[in-house]
Structures are given as C-alpha cells and as structure tokens.
Amino acid sequence: MSSESLFSKLTAHAKEYGYIFQSSEIYDGLSAVYDYGQYGAQLKKNIRDAWWKSMTQLHDNIVGIDAAIFMHPTTWKASGHVDNFSDPMIDNKDSKKRYRVDHLIEAHAATLSAEDGKQLIEAMEALLAKDDYQGILSLINEHKIKCGISGTCNWTEVRQFNLMFQTEFGAVASDNQDDNIVYLRPETAQGIFVNFLNVQKTGRMKIPFGIAQTGKAFRNEIVARQFIFRMREFEQMEMQFFVRPGTELEWYAYWKENRMKWHQALGIPAEKLRYHDHAKLAHYANAALDIEFEFPFGWKELEGIHSRTNYDLSRHQEFSKKKIQYFDNDLNPEGKPYGNYVPYVVETSVGLDRLVLTILSLAFKEEEVPTAEEGKTDIRTYLSIPAAIAPVKAAILPLVKKEGLPEIANSITTELRKHFHCQYDEKDSIGKRYRRQDAIGTPFCITVDHQSKEDEMVTVRHRDSLIQERIPIKGLTQYLQKAIQG
C-alpha cells in the first residue's frame, strides 16, 4: 500500500469506525478541528493515562497539575507569545489564498531536483533566520512560485500573523478594549511556570523536580492540513523539569533518552523514530531537538525536548514583580549551600493527537485471507493497536444466540467488565462479528461454543496472528491481564 493510499484509507476508516469525526460535520465541518468518537476518545485517554503514569507515578519527583486554559493576559507578554508567536505569511491577490511562506517554498522545492531543492530550502532558512521578509518575497518571485489555486505569481508582501486566538473576558466593556482581551492558551507550559512556586512550596519539592500537565491548546494555524497532525484545537502533554543551573545539559540528555524509550514502550518501532537536532536555537535555549516519527506523509515532529535555561521563570519574575526563586541548601564543591537561584528548565512537550495519529497509522492493516469458498480470498482490515492501549480489550461472542450460549457469554462479560473494556455481541455470523472487532482493533475475541457447556472452556482468537486457543473460563481474567500487559 502506498503511503498516500494508506493515509486516505486510514482517515476514512477512522471516521467509519467511530474514531475521529470532523467537528460539526452536519454543518460541513470546521477546518482543522476534529472530534473523537467513542473509540478515538478511549484510545486517546489510554495514551494520556500511559504518559501521566510514566511521569507522575513512575518518577517520585514529578507531580501533575491541571491549570486553566484562560490565563492572565500578561502571561503571554512575559512568555513572548504576544510579540513573537507568529508565522510569516503571504497572500495570493487573485485567489485570496493565504500561505505560510515556508510551506509554499518547501512545496516548490519538492518539485525541483534534489540539489536545487536543497539550495532553495537553505536560501529560505537563511532569510527566515534574519527575518528578511523582503528577501523571502524576492526568492518567491525569482523562482516564479505560483499559487496552487489561481496559478499566478501575484503576491502580497510577506507579513507576520500571530497564531493566538483571543476573546473577551467578562461582561463589562472597558474603555480600553485591551483590558478585556484574554487568549486561549497556545501551549500548556505557561500554566506550569506560573505555578512553579505554588507547587514547589505546597509539595515541598526539592530540585531537581518536574511538573506535568495535559490539556487543550489552541493555535490559529494558517495552513492546517494532514488530518489531526495540525489542528487549531489540540491536546498537549508537557513536563517542565526544574534543575540547578549548570546541570541542565545532563538532564536534557536524560530526557532525550527517556522519552525515546517511552515512545518505543508504547509500541512504536525504533526504526520509525529519530532525533532531529534544531539547527537554529531560540535565543533563550541552549539545546533543542525533536523526536520525529515517519508519518505516512514523511518524517515530522512528534515531540519537542528543549533546554530553556531560566528564561521563562525569569520573565515571569520580571513581569509579575514577584520573586520566583529557589533556595538550594545542598552543598557545592566548596562546602557552601548553592543558595538562591532561578531554576533552569528542561521541557518535554508531546502532542497527544499526533500520538493518536502515530498509533493509528502504524495499526492500520489490510491482509488477504482465504474465504470458506475454495480458491477465493477476501481482504481483512484490522487495527493492530497494542493491547495495552486498545479501546476495547475483549469481545465476548456466543457462537449462536440460543441453547444457553448467550447466558454463559453474558456471565463472562459481567466478570471481565470489572477489569477491562469489553463488548458483548451476538448479532450476525461469527465471521462478521470478528471483522467488526478487527476494524476497531479489539485484540481478543472470546467465543463461547457448545463445547464450552461441557468443558467450561472458550476459544480466544488473537487479532493479529489469528491464532486460536482454548482457555478455561475460570482463568480468563488472569490470562487477559497477562496478555494485555505484554
């Protein structure tokens, strides 16, 4: 299956089987906004829970918080988002279509020979690094880059476009409109920074320690495409790890490795993941990289790991005029306490929706299987989602809807439900029921047949290998627990 065909089949499958719907679809949808259906929401929750557990339960020095989406507007001045959180854009005057200049130029570079394409990208990066927008416009004109819709080169100037959504707060209008403006947070990290002292003091946290948070973030992405890869409303899972100045690069190395292992433990093969060091660092960062995944449309960022020095806390200290410092009474090599300082920060920031897309794109499989009719084959479509995060763990299926089999299957379901998400299904032929469970990625189908009445055993069918085993009903919970943990 080509990558393109995999991607379009996957998006159709995600909709057809209750994973992901376009938002407000009955009104023709809202661009780059998606809703998770019954299986998608559960898959997303399972991934979020795995992340939360790895951070807050498996590390004794990381705690989790849940900060509000709305924050005092000064937060975003301090963080630099009001002034700098923007992308350079250009509009085509004929089609009125707006493009992110890097996307426009990259798309053109992809049509050139490898060497010419590389040169063009390098020229673009050099100009963007200097914020030379006149130079960018000249580059676009020189290469006669056309709008995909109008086919013309009739471009506006290059302009900066801030990605933050803003809205008004409260019912009372103020004379100064700016007083009422609040932003929908474009990242969850700032909710952690502004709570640094609250958490450190109330939790008596000792450096090094981390604060983790998951939650919605909003960005008015101009070029929103590739399904749930780039959305205007999405969910982040971020952890800020506060460390003693001078130790940040050791911690950066620790988190770089830890996060790569976590993705692999989730079931992502090592060869589909790679590090990508940032060539150009933000002025406050002293190291930064992305963990990239090979999506069906190429290698793209899944998670960012950044050593952000003490920039964020210092800026909040400056803008709030409140002291944000930590007293470190550990002894330095000279035998004196390290004393007061603004901690340094290593951040790990992963997009939950991008992880869902990663898991689904790895899971989507089509396979030719023989049918009952001799010499004929059929296509079996299934999602090989790792059992530990699959939305439904087991389906319990009486072979027929009579002769006492539904009763046995129901009592098994009642027992298993206490431990796992299960489905009971007695409708249609057993083959059709298997296919339905394959399509939503249920790792185990448990079939109750006539023999079960005699030997108190059932058949467990494995989704990926199609292996079938006879297992005693009594031992099913334990059997599944073990199989799910892998």
Write the secondary structure of 238-268 as one string of H (helix), E (strand) and C (coil). Answer: EEEEEECCCCHHHHHHHHHHHHHHHHHHCCC
Give dist(CA 135, CA 120) in Å, integer.
Answer: 13
CA 268 from chain center: how many Å?
13
**Is the CB of 228 or the CB of 460 nearer to ligand ATP?**
228
Give dist(CA 351, CA 229) in Å, integer.
Answer: 9
Place of tokens 């089509």: 366
Write the secondary structure of 331-360 as one string of H (helix), E (strand) and C (coil). Answer: ECCCCCEEEEECCEEEEEEEEHHHHHHHHH
Going by their DSSP bridges, the two strands 209-218 and 62-64 should be labelled as parallel
User: Which residue in the set 44, 108, 219, 263 belongs to the binding site for ligand ATP (CB under 6 A)?
Assistant: 219
**Is the CB of 290 or the CB of 425 nearer to ligand ATP?**
290
Tell me the HSE value of 403 on the side-chain side, using a 13 A CA sphere. 10
The sign of the CA dihedral 107, 112, 113, 119 is negative
Going by their DSSP bridges, the two strands 444-448 and 394-398 should be labelled as parallel
Q: Spell out where 187-232 has E strands.
A: 209-218
CB-based contact 273:293 (threshold 8 Å): yes
353 forms part of the interface with ligand ATP (CB under 6 A)? yes
3-state secondary structure of 288: strand
**Is the CB of 71 or the CB of 473 nearer to ligand ATP?**
71
**Is the CB of 256 or the CB of 433 nearer to ligand ATP?**
256
Number of residues near ligand ATP (by CB under 6 A): 16
221 forms part of the interface with ligand ATP (CB under 6 A)? yes
**Is the CB of 50 or the CB of 409 nearer to ligand ATP?**
50
**Is the CB of 228 or the CB of 394 nearer to ligand ATP?**
228
Closest distance to ligand ATP from the beta carbon of 36 (Å): 13
User: Which residue in the set 13, 44, 81, 230 belongs to the binding site for ligand ATP (CB under 6 A)?
Assistant: 230
**Is the CB of 187 or the CB of 438 nearer to ligand ATP?**
187
Closest distance to ligand ATP from the beta carbon of 66 (Å): 18
Write the secondary structure of 108-176 as one string of H (helix), E (strand) and C (coil). Answer: HHCCCCHHHHHHHHHHHHHHHHCCCHHHHHHHHHHCCCCCCCCCCCCECCCEEEECCCEEECCCCCCCC
231 forms part of the interface with ligand ATP (CB under 6 A)? yes
**Is the CB of 30 or the CB of 153 nearer to ligand ATP?**
30
Residues in 156-195 at the binding interface with ligand ATP, rule: CB under 6 A: 187
234 forms part of the interface with ligand ATP (CB under 6 A)? yes
Closest distance to ligand ATP from the beta carbon of 389 (Å): 17
**Is the CB of 138 or the CB of 264 nearer to ligand ATP?**
264
Comparing every residue's Cβ against ligand ATP, the nearest one is: 351
Contact stretch for ligand ATP (CB under 6 A) within 66-74, 116-124, 228-236, 312-320? 228-236
Contact stretch for ligand ATP (CB under 6 A) within 164-172, 226-234, 435-443, 476-484? 226-234
**Is the CB of 161 or the CB of 420 nearer to ligand ATP?**
161
Contact stretch for ligand ATP (CB under 6 A) within 97-105, 109-117, 126-134, 230-238? 230-238
236 forms part of the interface with ligand ATP (CB under 6 A)? yes
Length of the chain: 486
Give dist(CA 285, CA 269) in Å, integer.
Answer: 30
Closest distance to ligand ATP from the beta carbon of 59 (Å): 20
Per-residue binding string, ligand ATP, 286-325, x by CB under 6 A, is ---------------xxxx---------------------
CB atoms within 10 A of CB 320: 14
Q: Which of 295, 188, 213 is nearest to 48 (CA)?
A: 213
**Is the CB of 283 or the CB of 427 nearer to ligand ATP?**
283
CB-based contact 401:451 (threshold 8 Å): no
Closest distance to ligand ATP from the beta carbon of 214 (Å): 11
User: Which residue in the set 351, 386, 398, 443 belongs to the binding site for ligand ATP (CB under 6 A)?
Assistant: 351
Binding site for ligand ATP (CB under 6 A): 187, 219, 221, 230-231, 234, 236, 301-304, 349-351, 353-354
